[in-house]
């Protein structure tokens, strides 16, 4: 369970996240949508304890992320796939991550298979990875502790169509086994296909929220809904 309650974040007096509230329940995928600069990453960073809120709260599994004893065992996070150390091979990066959270080394081979990275990729240095490969490696790190919750910021960025379809299956089956997924994405068709509920923000405020099936009833697409609410497109910083 993820609970975002009256969450606000101000930078230099400007609210970039403005009184946001929503809940993500076990067994569901939540699509978190909004134009560039609308406050999605800031919300996810607050949820993962990387940025303090100005007001309100963001909790996961009943408390603050930083208060979970071994958070990677409960909550898988992928916020920035390009943040990985480029000088390590994929296998070194994943082995280190396993050791850090106390997951067995045996998980490494299993995870590479699960995220579709082969032996050649495992031996390659991360700096030579494509963005799609980095996303897969980042997802392997998020999954290694067999978490109950996944928090993913644009995980399908850089994935090819096969990779996007694979990601959809992975997230759907994770939720179908009782997991909670919060996913930010600009791939509206994909989100429509996988998400049970949608939270759409614009200028840091929730402008639409509800079950995907209800929001796209009557032949309306998620893209129609998105464009209706965000007609001005990309947000600008004053």
Ligand X SMILES: Nc1ncnc2c1ncn2[C@@H]1O[C@H](COP(=O)(O)OP(=O)(O)OP(=O)(O)O)[C@@H](O)[C@H]1O
Minimum CB distance to ligand X smaller for 26 or for 56: 56
CA distance 235 to 93: 36
CB of 82 vs ligand X, minimal distance in Å: 13
The smaller minimum CB distance to ligand X, of residues 32 and 166, is found at 32
Which C-beta is closer to ligand X: that of 90 or that of 204? 204
Closest distance between ligand X and the C-beta of residue 73, in Å?
Answer: 27
Residues that bind ligand X (CB under 6 A): 11, 16, 34, 36-42, 237
Q: How far is the CB of 57 from ligand X (least distance, A)?
A: 17
CA–chain centroid gap for 90, Å, is 21
Please identify, using beta-carbon distances, which residue of 38 and 122 lies nearer to ligand X.
38
Shortest Cβ 44–ligand X spacing (Å)? 8
Name 99's Cβ contacts closer than 8 Å, sequence gap at least 6. Answer: 105
Q: Sheet holding 197-202: strands in order across?
A: 75-78, 149-153, 180-184, 28-33, 197-202, 205-211
Decide if 126 contacts 90 (C-beta within 8 A). Answer: yes
Question: Taking a C-beta distance cutoff of 8 angstroms, is the pair 108, 91 a contact?
Answer: yes
Return the number of the residue (16 or 149) whose C-beta is nearest ligand X.
16
Regarding beta strands 2-11 and 14-24, do their DSSP bridges make them parallel or antiparallel, or are they unpaired? Answer: antiparallel
Beta strands 180-184; 28-33: pairing state: parallel
- Residues of the chain by 3-state class (helix, strand, coil), percent to 5: 40, 25, 35
Shortest Cβ 17–ligand X spacing (Å)? 7
């Amino acid at each position: 369970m993820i609970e975002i309650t009256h969450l606000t974040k101000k930078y230099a007096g400007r609210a970039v996240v403005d009184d946001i509230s929503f809940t993500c329940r076990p067994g569901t995928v939540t699509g978190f949508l909004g134009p560039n600069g609308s406050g999605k990453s800031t919300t996810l960073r607050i949820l993962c304890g990387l940025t303090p809120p100005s007001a309100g709260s963001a909790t996961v599994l009943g408390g603050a992320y930083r208060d979970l004893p071994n958070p990677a065992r409960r909550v898988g996070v992928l916020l920035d796939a390009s943040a990985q150390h480029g000088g390590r091979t994929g296998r070194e990066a994943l082995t280190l991550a396993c050791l850090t959270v106390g997951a067995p080394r045996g998980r490494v081979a299993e995870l590479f298979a699960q995220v579709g990275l082969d032996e050649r990729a495992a031996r390659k240095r991360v700096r030579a990875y494509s963005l799609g490969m980095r996303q897969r490696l980042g997802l392997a790190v998020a999954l290694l502790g067999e978490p109950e919750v996944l928090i993913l910021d644009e995980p399908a960025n850089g994935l090819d169509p096969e990779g996007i379809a694979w990601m959809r299956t992975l997230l759907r089956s994770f939720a179908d086994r009782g997991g909670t997924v919060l996913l930010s994405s600009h791939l509206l068709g994909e989100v429509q296909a996988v998400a049970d509920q949608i939270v759409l923000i614009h200028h840091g405020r929730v402008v639409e929220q509800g079950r995907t099936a209800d929001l796209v009833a009557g032949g309306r697409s998620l893209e129609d809904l998105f464009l209706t609410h965000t007609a001005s497109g990309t947000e600008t910083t004053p």
